[in-house]
Structure 1
Amino acid sequence: MAGLYFEQFHVGQIFDHAIRRTVTEADNVFFTALTHNPAALHLDEEYCREHTEFGQRLVNSAFTLGLIVGISVGDTTLGTTVANLGWDEVRFPAPVFHGDTLRVQSEVVSLRESRSRPSQGIVVFEHRGYNQRGTLVATCKRSALMLKTP
Protein backbone atom coordinates (compact mmCIF):
# COMPACT_ATOMS: atom_id res chain seq x y z
CA MET A 1 0.00 0.00 0.00
CA ALA A 2 1.23 3.46 -0.81
CA GLY A 3 -1.05 5.00 1.82
CA LEU A 4 -0.44 4.91 5.54
CA TYR A 5 -2.54 3.29 8.23
CA PHE A 6 -4.07 5.34 11.03
CA GLU A 7 -1.31 4.47 13.51
CA GLN A 8 1.39 5.63 11.09
CA PHE A 9 0.24 9.27 11.24
CA HIS A 10 1.14 11.80 13.92
CA VAL A 11 0.02 15.37 14.51
CA GLY A 12 2.44 17.79 12.87
CA GLN A 13 3.56 15.26 10.25
CA ILE A 14 4.25 17.06 6.96
CA PHE A 15 4.22 15.60 3.47
CA ASP A 16 5.86 17.53 0.63
CA HIS A 17 4.32 15.69 -2.30
CA ALA A 18 6.69 14.99 -5.19
CA ILE A 19 4.00 15.14 -7.86
CA ARG A 20 3.50 18.57 -9.41
CA ARG A 21 0.98 19.43 -12.10
CA THR A 22 0.78 22.18 -14.69
CA VAL A 23 -2.84 23.23 -15.14
CA THR A 24 -3.87 23.46 -18.78
CA GLU A 25 -6.60 25.33 -20.61
CA ALA A 26 -8.15 21.95 -21.45
CA ASP A 27 -8.30 21.00 -17.75
CA ASN A 28 -10.19 24.17 -16.94
CA VAL A 29 -12.56 24.19 -19.91
CA PHE A 30 -13.41 20.47 -19.69
CA PHE A 31 -13.94 20.53 -15.92
CA THR A 32 -16.04 23.69 -16.09
CA ALA A 33 -18.17 22.30 -18.92
CA LEU A 34 -18.54 18.86 -17.31
CA THR A 35 -19.81 20.44 -14.09
CA HIS A 36 -22.26 22.74 -15.97
CA ASN A 37 -20.66 25.93 -14.65
CA PRO A 38 -21.49 28.69 -17.16
CA ALA A 39 -19.35 31.39 -15.49
CA ALA A 40 -17.61 33.60 -18.06
CA LEU A 41 -14.78 33.92 -15.54
CA HIS A 42 -13.68 30.39 -16.53
CA LEU A 43 -14.74 30.21 -20.18
CA ASP A 44 -14.70 33.58 -21.92
CA GLU A 45 -11.24 35.07 -22.49
CA GLU A 46 -12.59 38.28 -24.06
CA TYR A 47 -14.99 38.87 -21.17
CA CYS A 48 -12.14 38.43 -18.69
CA ARG A 49 -9.83 40.70 -20.66
CA GLU A 50 -12.44 43.49 -20.70
CA HIS A 51 -14.29 43.05 -17.39
CA THR A 52 -12.03 41.52 -14.74
CA GLU A 53 -9.03 42.70 -12.78
CA PHE A 54 -7.11 39.59 -13.88
CA GLY A 55 -7.43 40.13 -17.65
CA GLN A 56 -7.57 36.39 -18.30
CA ARG A 57 -9.63 33.32 -17.39
CA LEU A 58 -9.34 31.89 -13.90
CA VAL A 59 -9.07 28.16 -13.33
CA ASN A 60 -12.23 26.76 -11.77
CA SER A 61 -11.67 26.62 -8.00
CA ALA A 62 -13.43 23.25 -7.70
CA PHE A 63 -10.83 21.82 -10.09
CA THR A 64 -8.04 23.38 -8.02
CA LEU A 65 -9.46 21.84 -4.84
CA GLY A 66 -9.77 18.41 -6.44
CA LEU A 67 -6.24 18.63 -7.80
CA ILE A 68 -4.56 19.55 -4.51
CA VAL A 69 -6.38 16.78 -2.67
CA GLY A 70 -5.73 14.31 -5.49
CA ILE A 71 -2.00 14.99 -5.50
CA SER A 72 -1.91 14.12 -1.78
CA VAL A 73 -3.54 10.70 -2.10
CA GLY A 74 -0.51 8.66 -3.20
CA ASP A 75 1.54 9.56 -0.12
CA THR A 76 -1.22 9.51 2.47
CA THR A 77 -4.41 7.55 1.84
CA LEU A 78 -4.04 5.36 -1.26
CA GLY A 79 -5.43 1.93 -0.38
CA THR A 80 -5.81 2.67 3.34
CA THR A 81 -8.74 5.06 3.37
CA VAL A 82 -12.31 3.95 4.00
CA ALA A 83 -14.01 7.22 3.09
CA ASN A 84 -13.53 10.93 2.65
CA LEU A 85 -15.70 12.43 5.41
CA GLY A 86 -15.57 16.06 4.35
CA TRP A 87 -13.69 19.21 3.46
CA ASP A 88 -13.65 22.21 5.76
CA GLU A 89 -12.15 25.68 5.71
CA VAL A 90 -11.65 25.65 1.95
CA ARG A 91 -9.90 28.85 0.85
CA PHE A 92 -8.46 30.22 -2.39
CA PRO A 93 -6.20 33.14 -1.39
CA ALA A 94 -4.81 33.68 -4.90
CA PRO A 95 -6.05 32.79 -8.39
CA VAL A 96 -4.80 29.94 -10.55
CA PHE A 97 -4.29 30.57 -14.27
CA HIS A 98 -3.69 28.33 -17.28
CA GLY A 99 -0.02 27.35 -17.27
CA ASP A 100 0.45 27.54 -13.49
CA THR A 101 2.28 24.56 -12.00
CA LEU A 102 0.94 23.50 -8.62
CA ARG A 103 2.74 21.67 -5.84
CA VAL A 104 1.13 20.46 -2.63
CA GLN A 105 2.08 20.13 1.00
CA SER A 106 -0.09 18.25 3.50
CA GLU A 107 0.03 18.34 7.28
CA VAL A 108 -1.70 16.08 9.79
CA VAL A 109 -3.59 18.43 12.10
CA SER A 110 -5.54 15.96 14.24
CA LEU A 111 -6.17 12.27 14.87
CA ARG A 112 -8.83 10.38 16.75
CA GLU A 113 -9.99 6.84 16.94
CA SER A 114 -13.45 6.18 15.56
CA ARG A 115 -16.02 5.74 18.31
CA SER A 116 -18.26 3.53 16.17
CA ARG A 117 -15.65 1.62 14.14
CA PRO A 118 -12.90 0.11 16.32
CA SER A 119 -10.77 -0.89 13.30
CA GLN A 120 -10.64 2.68 11.97
CA GLY A 121 -9.63 6.21 12.90
CA ILE A 122 -10.12 9.74 11.62
CA VAL A 123 -7.22 11.80 10.33
CA VAL A 124 -7.63 15.49 9.54
CA PHE A 125 -5.20 16.79 6.93
CA GLU A 126 -4.55 20.38 5.96
CA HIS A 127 -3.67 20.50 2.26
CA ARG A 128 -1.90 23.56 0.87
CA GLY A 129 -1.43 24.24 -2.84
CA TYR A 130 1.27 26.58 -4.15
CA ASN A 131 1.98 27.85 -7.64
CA GLN A 132 5.39 27.95 -9.32
CA ARG A 133 6.20 31.27 -7.62
CA GLY A 134 5.53 29.82 -4.17
CA THR A 135 2.24 31.71 -3.79
CA LEU A 136 -0.38 29.93 -1.69
CA VAL A 137 -3.36 29.41 -4.02
CA ALA A 138 -5.55 26.93 -2.11
CA THR A 139 -6.00 25.39 1.33
CA CYS A 140 -8.47 22.98 2.86
CA LYS A 141 -8.86 20.66 5.79
CA ARG A 142 -9.92 17.15 4.85
CA SER A 143 -11.26 14.53 7.24
CA ALA A 144 -10.45 10.97 6.18
CA LEU A 145 -11.70 7.76 7.75
CA MET A 146 -8.62 5.53 7.76
CA LEU A 147 -8.01 1.85 8.33
CA LYS A 148 -5.96 0.81 11.32
CA THR A 149 -3.14 -1.67 10.77
CA PRO A 150 -4.68 -5.11 10.15
Structure 2
Amino acid sequence: MTRLTHLDDKGEARMVDVTDKAATEREARAEATIRMAPETLNMIVEGEHPKGDVLAVARIAGIMAAKKTHDLIPLCHSLNLTSVKVELAPGEDGASVHIVTRCKLSGQTGVEMEALTAASVAALTLYDMCKAVDRGMEIGSVRLLEKKGGRSGHWVADKP
Protein backbone atom coordinates (compact mmCIF):
# COMPACT_ATOMS: atom_id res chain seq x y z
CA MET A 1 0.00 0.00 0.00
CA THR A 2 1.19 3.51 -0.80
CA ARG A 3 2.24 5.57 2.20
CA LEU A 4 0.06 8.61 2.90
CA THR A 5 2.10 11.74 2.18
CA HIS A 6 0.21 13.98 4.62
CA LEU A 7 1.34 11.91 7.62
CA ASP A 8 4.83 11.94 9.10
CA ASP A 9 6.67 8.95 10.58
CA LYS A 10 4.72 9.36 13.83
CA GLY A 11 1.38 9.40 12.01
CA GLU A 12 0.87 13.11 12.62
CA ALA A 13 -0.59 15.43 9.99
CA ARG A 14 1.84 17.59 8.02
CA MET A 15 1.99 19.67 4.88
CA VAL A 16 4.02 17.83 2.25
CA ASP A 17 7.42 19.43 1.63
CA VAL A 18 7.70 20.09 -2.12
CA THR A 19 10.84 22.23 -1.88
CA ASP A 20 13.02 19.82 -3.86
CA LYS A 21 10.43 18.95 -6.51
CA ALA A 22 10.93 20.37 -9.98
CA ALA A 23 8.35 22.82 -11.28
CA THR A 24 6.44 21.25 -14.16
CA GLU A 25 3.34 22.06 -16.17
CA ARG A 26 0.33 20.68 -14.35
CA GLU A 27 -3.35 20.57 -15.21
CA ALA A 28 -6.46 19.02 -13.69
CA ARG A 29 -10.07 18.77 -14.82
CA ALA A 30 -13.05 17.98 -12.59
CA GLU A 31 -16.82 17.85 -12.89
CA ALA A 32 -20.01 18.14 -10.86
CA THR A 33 -23.68 17.93 -11.69
CA ILE A 34 -26.62 19.62 -10.02
CA ARG A 35 -30.04 18.14 -10.68
CA MET A 36 -33.14 20.30 -10.44
CA ALA A 37 -36.73 20.59 -11.56
CA PRO A 38 -37.06 21.18 -15.31
CA GLU A 39 -38.85 24.45 -14.53
CA THR A 40 -35.83 25.66 -12.57
CA LEU A 41 -33.45 24.86 -15.41
CA ASN A 42 -35.75 26.58 -17.87
CA MET A 43 -35.82 29.69 -15.66
CA ILE A 44 -32.00 29.72 -15.63
CA VAL A 45 -31.59 29.11 -19.37
CA GLU A 46 -34.23 31.69 -20.33
CA GLY A 47 -32.64 34.33 -18.08
CA GLU A 48 -35.84 34.65 -16.05
CA HIS A 49 -34.37 33.89 -12.63
CA PRO A 50 -35.13 36.74 -10.20
CA LYS A 51 -31.52 36.76 -9.00
CA GLY A 52 -30.14 37.35 -12.49
CA ASP A 53 -27.54 35.35 -14.41
CA VAL A 54 -26.96 32.50 -11.98
CA LEU A 55 -24.60 30.69 -14.35
CA ALA A 56 -22.28 33.73 -14.52
CA VAL A 57 -22.26 34.04 -10.73
CA ALA A 58 -21.56 30.30 -10.33
CA ARG A 59 -18.70 30.55 -12.84
CA ILE A 60 -17.10 33.41 -10.89
CA ALA A 61 -17.63 31.57 -7.60
CA GLY A 62 -15.88 28.49 -9.01
CA ILE A 63 -12.91 30.55 -10.17
CA MET A 64 -12.65 32.29 -6.81
CA ALA A 65 -12.91 28.96 -4.99
CA ALA A 66 -10.03 27.46 -6.98
CA LYS A 67 -7.87 30.41 -5.96
CA LYS A 68 -8.83 29.96 -2.29
CA THR A 69 -8.54 26.18 -2.03
CA HIS A 70 -5.57 26.42 0.34
CA ASP A 71 -7.79 28.40 2.75
CA LEU A 72 -10.51 25.74 2.65
CA ILE A 73 -8.67 22.40 2.58
CA PRO A 74 -6.21 21.79 5.42
CA LEU A 75 -2.63 21.08 4.33
CA CYS A 76 -3.15 22.24 0.72
CA HIS A 77 -0.39 24.40 -0.70
CA SER A 78 -1.09 27.94 -1.80
CA LEU A 79 -0.69 27.79 -5.58
CA ASN A 80 0.03 30.37 -8.24
CA LEU A 81 -2.65 29.28 -10.71
CA THR A 82 -2.11 30.43 -14.27
CA SER A 83 -5.55 29.47 -15.58
CA VAL A 84 -8.93 28.52 -14.14
CA LYS A 85 -11.88 27.72 -16.38
CA VAL A 86 -15.39 26.87 -15.23
CA GLU A 87 -17.89 25.76 -17.85
CA LEU A 88 -21.57 25.28 -17.03
CA ALA A 89 -24.02 23.73 -19.49
CA PRO A 90 -27.62 22.57 -19.26
CA GLY A 91 -27.78 18.80 -19.03
CA GLU A 92 -29.22 16.81 -21.91
CA ASP A 93 -31.84 15.47 -19.48
CA GLY A 94 -33.45 18.91 -19.27
CA ALA A 95 -33.20 18.88 -15.48
CA SER A 96 -29.55 19.49 -14.57
CA VAL A 97 -26.52 21.67 -15.02
CA HIS A 98 -23.19 19.98 -15.79
CA ILE A 99 -20.08 21.76 -14.53
CA VAL A 100 -16.58 21.10 -15.86
CA THR A 101 -13.54 22.89 -14.45
CA ARG A 102 -9.89 23.10 -15.51
CA CYS A 103 -6.98 24.46 -13.48
CA LYS A 104 -3.42 24.92 -14.74
CA LEU A 105 -0.07 26.06 -13.42
CA SER A 106 3.64 25.54 -13.61
CA GLY A 107 4.62 24.39 -10.16
CA GLN A 108 5.79 21.77 -7.72
CA THR A 109 2.44 20.24 -6.80
CA GLY A 110 -0.75 19.27 -8.55
CA VAL A 111 -4.00 21.18 -9.00
CA GLU A 112 -6.54 18.40 -8.50
CA MET A 113 -7.98 19.89 -5.32
CA GLU A 114 -8.37 23.28 -6.98
CA ALA A 115 -10.33 21.79 -9.89
CA LEU A 116 -12.53 19.76 -7.52
CA THR A 117 -13.12 22.77 -5.26
CA ALA A 118 -14.07 24.94 -8.24
CA ALA A 119 -16.64 22.37 -9.42
CA SER A 120 -18.07 21.91 -5.94
CA VAL A 121 -18.40 25.60 -5.15
CA ALA A 122 -19.92 26.38 -8.56
CA ALA A 123 -22.58 23.72 -7.84
CA LEU A 124 -23.14 25.05 -4.32
CA THR A 125 -23.55 28.56 -5.69
CA LEU A 126 -26.19 27.38 -8.14
CA TYR A 127 -27.99 25.72 -5.24
CA ASP A 128 -27.78 28.87 -3.13
CA MET A 129 -29.09 31.11 -5.87
CA CYS A 130 -31.94 28.77 -6.85
CA LYS A 131 -33.02 27.37 -3.48
CA ALA A 132 -35.89 29.86 -3.17
CA VAL A 133 -37.55 28.30 -6.21
CA ASP A 134 -36.32 24.68 -5.87
CA ARG A 135 -35.20 23.25 -2.53
CA GLY A 136 -35.11 19.71 -3.94
CA MET A 137 -31.97 20.22 -6.03
CA GLU A 138 -29.28 17.59 -5.68
CA ILE A 139 -25.53 18.00 -6.15
CA GLY A 140 -23.63 14.90 -7.21
CA SER A 141 -21.05 13.29 -9.44
CA VAL A 142 -18.22 15.47 -8.12
CA ARG A 143 -15.08 13.79 -9.42
CA LEU A 144 -11.67 14.27 -10.95
CA LEU A 145 -11.75 13.74 -14.71
CA GLU A 146 -8.09 14.11 -15.61
CA LYS A 147 -4.73 15.21 -14.27
CA LYS A 148 -1.52 15.89 -16.16
CA GLY A 149 2.01 16.53 -15.02
CA GLY A 150 4.17 15.75 -12.05
CA ARG A 151 5.76 12.49 -11.06
CA SER A 152 2.61 10.43 -11.51
CA GLY A 153 2.14 11.65 -15.10
CA HIS A 154 -1.14 11.60 -16.96
CA TRP A 155 -4.28 10.06 -15.50
CA VAL A 156 -7.80 9.94 -16.98
CA ALA A 157 -10.92 8.78 -15.14
CA ASP A 158 -12.92 5.86 -16.42
CA LYS A 159 -16.21 6.71 -18.10
CA PRO A 160 -19.11 6.56 -15.61
The question of a shared fold, defined as TM-score above 0.5 by the shorter chain, is answered with no
Which one has a larger percent strand, Structure 1 or Structure 2?
1
TM-score, with length taken from structure 2: 0.30
TM-score, with length taken from structure 1: 0.31
